[in-house]
């Protein structure tokens, strides 16, 4: 179409850190971008950075000062990417695009951390105005610039138009080894490798999967923080010593981005005070809500995710700094004899294994949650594909994701990762050390909520019999809630007149 000559390929709204970097990533991959932000300084900033990165060559980004100008700069049918905060702002932008004349076959992609139910509603709400598509992004600012993990969902037709672009800008993994292919320079592109972007499912599915990614992210971070706490307070190790231990752990089964950055954070010294910065950071955790959404969803779906929920609680407990300062003077600590050098060495090894087993449990919970949600909403999620997407680019990227990919490739319908042959063998070999670490930390009085919640999860999941028989008796006693019997066919309900003299059993 001649009217498309010299026009931009993609419109971009929202030029914060993530947005600006996604624009430059798209530009590196040969797309011409029309960029808009209500804050025009941000528009100027991205144009300036584009100029610097291209040495004043052909501009790859065109600045726009209104939604109308943005649409006018674009090839038809229009493709517009939003990188704006989740919530009402997404709808405000959509309404502005409608006001500016967006067309029915135009596509708008929401890349924020939107609540998945909002995404479902939006697809329906805007269906007569344009195609609302979503694609959650993970990887922070560096990921956005040099290759994020992308979780697109919505109209399959929209995906056919988005796929080549998403495949180009996503992080890439070496197909043979499963290892990330590094890209770290402006202008650099990676043409081969498996892209960390694949169609997730109908509207909302991608944001649900990203939400669970973040729930796992919360748990992964908390597990590392608990290990740090134990080493710092229990073994009285310094930041550099802990960084060295983590660096060693990062060479093996715990190899992950979060472990890698923890080493850097622990080593970092405050320029002014020459103190390790981590010792100066206030121990009150922030949260934007995606971990909480995961925990809430796991309760709603009825899928146990105690490690993830515990990680959310840990952030909440941390926020009560003043109360904790007070309780620390009121509540007594256990008596504890410090470990000798050889005991310390053994304990560090046990802690490593505890972290690894807890990590397996975290992913088992996250994947089972996605599986149950997929059945409930008929999303038909492909778990091997999700694990593959998470191998690079995203915050939870880890060598371990290849083992999860392999597990789901062995058995697509796996109910829980714990029953996969590889993971069940790993848990079997490492569980003794896990138990010893939990016992030792408990004796020390160091809180390890996520590590011990994982162990209880493991023990509950491996018990053919749980004490819910007594619980059912209690429920029936006070509320006539009925129970089933193991010596009678499934589904038959019974009730006992617990307080009457002969206590008759009534079959209902
Ligand atoms: C990602 C991150 C990203 C964001 C978290 C932060 O995958 O790139 O998850 O989405 O950094 O949402 O979450 P909290 O502020 O709640 O820790």
Residue given tokens 């100029």 in the structure block = 51
**Residues making up the chain, counted from first to last:** 508
CB 364 within 8 A of CB 358: no
- The string of DSSP codes covering 336-388 is -PPPPHHHHHHHHHHHHHHHHHHHHHHHHHHHHHHHHHHHHHT----HHHHHH
Judge whether residue 356 has pLDDT over 80: yes
Q: CB atoms < 10 A from the CB of 253, how many?
A: 18
Per-residue pLDDT at 1: 53
> pLDDT grade, residue 210 (50/70/90)?
very high
Q: H helices of 252-340, where?
A: 257-267, 290-301, 306-319, 321-330
Per-residue pLDDT at 504: 77
Q: Any bridge partners for residue 442, and if so which?
A: none
Q: Whose CA is nearest to atom 2 of ligand 1?
A: 138
Q: Whose CA is nearest to atom 6 of ligand 1?
A: 288
Distance from the alpha carbon of residue 287 to the mean position of ligand 1, in angstroms:
8
CA 373 – CA 130 distance, rounded (Å) = 27
Q: Is 210 a catalytic residue?
A: yes
| CA contacts within 13 A on the Cβ side of 406 | 13
Structure tokens at 111: 């890349």
Q: Is 272 a catalytic residue?
A: no
Atom of ligand 1 nearest to the CA of 396: 7
Residue given tokens 């010294």 in the structure block = 269
Mutation pick for ligand 1 pocket among 17, 83, 113, 386 (CB with most ligand atoms within 8 Å): 113
Q: Whose CA is nearest to atom 11 of ligand 1?
A: 140
CA 83 – CA 349 distance, rounded (Å) = 43
Q: What confidence tens digit (pLDDT) does each residue in 75-119 have?
A: 999 999 999 999 999 999 999 999 999 999 999 999 999 999 999
Per-residue pLDDT at 336: 87
Q: What confidence tens digit (pLDDT) does each residue in 154-186 have?
A: 999 999 999 999 999 999 999 999 899 989 999
Q: What does DSSP assign to residue 288?
A: -
Q: Whose CA is nearest to atom 10 of ligand 1?
A: 138
Q: Whose CA is nearest to atom 9 of ligand 1?
A: 214
Per-residue H/E/C for 317-332:
HHHCHHHHHHHHHHCC
Mutation pick for ligand 1 pocket among 114, 138, 214 (CB with most ligand atoms within 8 Å): 214
Distance from the alpha carbon of residue 297 to the mean position of ligand 1, in angstroms:
17
CA 422 – CA 497 distance, rounded (Å) = 49
Atom of ligand 1 nearest to the CA of 214: 9
pTM, rounded to two decimals: 0.96
Query: Could you tell me which residues come within 8 angstroms of residue 463 by beta carbon, excluding any fewer than 6 positions away?
Result: none
CA 243 – CA 237 distance, rounded (Å) = 10
CA 76 – CA 105 distance, rounded (Å) = 9
Instruction: Give me the domains of the chain, ranges plus CATH numbers.
Output: 2-203 (3.40.50.720), 208-461 (1.10.1040.10), 468-507 (1.20.5.320)
Atom of ligand 1 nearest to the CA of 287: 16
Atom of ligand 1 nearest to the CA of 290: 16
Q: What confidence tens digit (pLDDT) does each residue in 361-389 have?
A: 999 999 999 999 999 999 999 999 999 99
CA 18 – CA 119 distance, rounded (Å) = 20
Distance from the alpha carbon of residue 109 to the mean position of ligand 1, in angstroms:
19
Per-residue pLDDT at 269: 97
Judge whether residue 311 has pLDDT over 60: yes
Distance from the alpha carbon of residue 207 to the mean position of ligand 1, in angstroms:
13
Distance from the alpha carbon of residue 84 to the mean position of ligand 1, in angstroms:
14
Distance from the alpha carbon of residue 34 to the mean position of ligand 1, in angstroms:
27
Distance from the alpha carbon of residue 418 to the mean position of ligand 1, in angstroms:
27
- 435 to each of 253, 421, 457, how far by Cα in Å? 19, 21, 13
Q: CB atoms < 10 A from the CB of 178, how many?
A: 17
Atom of ligand 1 nearest to the CA of 288: 16
Q: Which of 38-52, 87-101, 438-452, 490-504 has the lowest mean pLDDT?
A: 490-504
Atom of ligand 1 nearest to the CA of 221: 17
- Phi, then psi, of 483 in degrees rounded to 5: -150, 165
Active-site option among 32, 75, 172, 210: 210
CB 377 within 8 A of CB 204: yes
Q: What confidence tens digit (pLDDT) does each residue in 272-302 have?
A: 999 999 999 999 999 999 999 999 999 999 9
Q: Whose CA is nearest to atom 5 of ligand 1?
A: 214
Q: What confidence tens digit (pLDDT) does each residue in 17-73 have?
A: 999 999 999 999 999 999 999 999 999 999 999 999 988 888 999 999 999 999 999
| Ligand 1 lining (C-beta closer than 6 Å) | 113, 138-140, 214, 217, 286-288, 290-291, 394-395
Distance from the alpha carbon of residue 214 to the mean position of ligand 1, in angstroms:
6
Q: Whose CA is nearest to atom 1 of ligand 1?
A: 138
Per-residue pLDDT at 84: 98
> pLDDT grade, residue 482 (50/70/90)?
very high
Query: Could you tell me which residues come within 8 angstroms of residue 91 by beta carbon, excluding any fewer than 6 positions away?
Result: 122
Span 442-464, mean pLDDT?
A: 97
- The string of DSSP codes covering 10-61 is EEEE--SHHHHHHHHHHHHTT--EEEE-SSHHHHHHHHHHHHHHTTT-S--E
Q: Whose CA is nearest to atom 4 of ligand 1?
A: 140
Active-site option among 75, 217, 371, 388: 217
């Amino acid at each position: 179409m001649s009217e498309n000559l010299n026009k931009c390929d993609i419109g971009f709204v929202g030029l914060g850190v993530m947005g600006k970097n996604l624009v430059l990533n798209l530009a590196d991959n040969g797309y011409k971008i029309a960029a808009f932000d209500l804050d025009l300084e941000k528009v100027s900033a991205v144009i300036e950075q584009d100029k610097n990165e291209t040495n004043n060559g052909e501009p790859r980004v065109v600045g726009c000062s209104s939604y109308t100008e943005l649409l006018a700069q674009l090839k038809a049918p229009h493709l517009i990417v939003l990188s704006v905060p989740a919530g009402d702002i997404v709808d405000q932008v959509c309404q502005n695009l409608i006001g500016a004349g967006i067309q029915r076959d135009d596509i708008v992609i929401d890349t924020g951390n939107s609540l998945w139910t909002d995404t479902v509603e939006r697809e329906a709400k805007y269906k007569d105005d344009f195609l609302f598509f979503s694609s959650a992004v993970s990887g922070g600012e560096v990921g956005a610039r040099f290759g994020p993990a992308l979780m697109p969902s919505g109209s399959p037709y929209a995906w056919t138009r988005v796929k080549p672009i998403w495949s180009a800008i996503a992080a890439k993994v070496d197909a043979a080894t499963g290892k990330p292919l590094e890209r770290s320079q402006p202008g650099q592109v990676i043409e081969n490798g498996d892209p960390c972007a694949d169609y997730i499912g109908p509207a909302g599915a991608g944001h649900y999967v990203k939400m669970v990614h973040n729930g796992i992210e919360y748990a992964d971070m908390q597990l590392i923080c608990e290990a740090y706490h134990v080493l710092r307070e229990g073994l009285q190790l310094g930041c550099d010593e802990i960084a060295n231990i983590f660096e060693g752990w990062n060479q093996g089964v715990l190899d992950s981005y979060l472990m890698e950055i923890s080493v850097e954070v622990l080593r970092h010294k405050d320029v002014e005070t020459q103190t390790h910065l981590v010792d100066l950071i206030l121990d009150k955790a922030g949260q934007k809500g995606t971990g909480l959404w995961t925990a809430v969803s796991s309760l709603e779906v009825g899928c146990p995710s105690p490690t993830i929920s515990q990680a959310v609680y840990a952030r909440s407990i941390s926020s009560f700094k003043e109360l904790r300062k007070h309780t620390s003077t009121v509540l007594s600590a256990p008596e504890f004899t410090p470990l000798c050098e050889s005991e310390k060495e053994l304990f560090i090894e046990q802690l490593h294994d505890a972290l690894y087993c807890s990590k397996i449990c975290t992913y088992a919970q996250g994947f089972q949650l996605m599986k149950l949600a997929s059945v409930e909403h008929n999303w038909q999620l492909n778990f091997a594909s999700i694990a593959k997407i998470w191998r690079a680019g995203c915050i939870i990227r880890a060598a371990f994701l290849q083992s999860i990919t392999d597990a789901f490739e062995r058995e697509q319908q796996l109910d829980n990762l714990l029953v996969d042959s590889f993971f069940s063998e790993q848990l079997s070999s490492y569980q003794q050390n896990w138990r010893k670490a939990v016992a030792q930390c408990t004796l020390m009085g160091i809180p390890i909520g996520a590590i011990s919640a994982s162990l209880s999860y493991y023990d509950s999941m491996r018990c053919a019999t749980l004490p819910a028989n007594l619980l059912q008796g209690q429920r029936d006693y006070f509320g006539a809630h009925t129970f089933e019997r193991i010596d009678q066919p499934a589904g038959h309900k019974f009730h006992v007149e617990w307080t009457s003299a002969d206590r008759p059993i009534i079959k209902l």
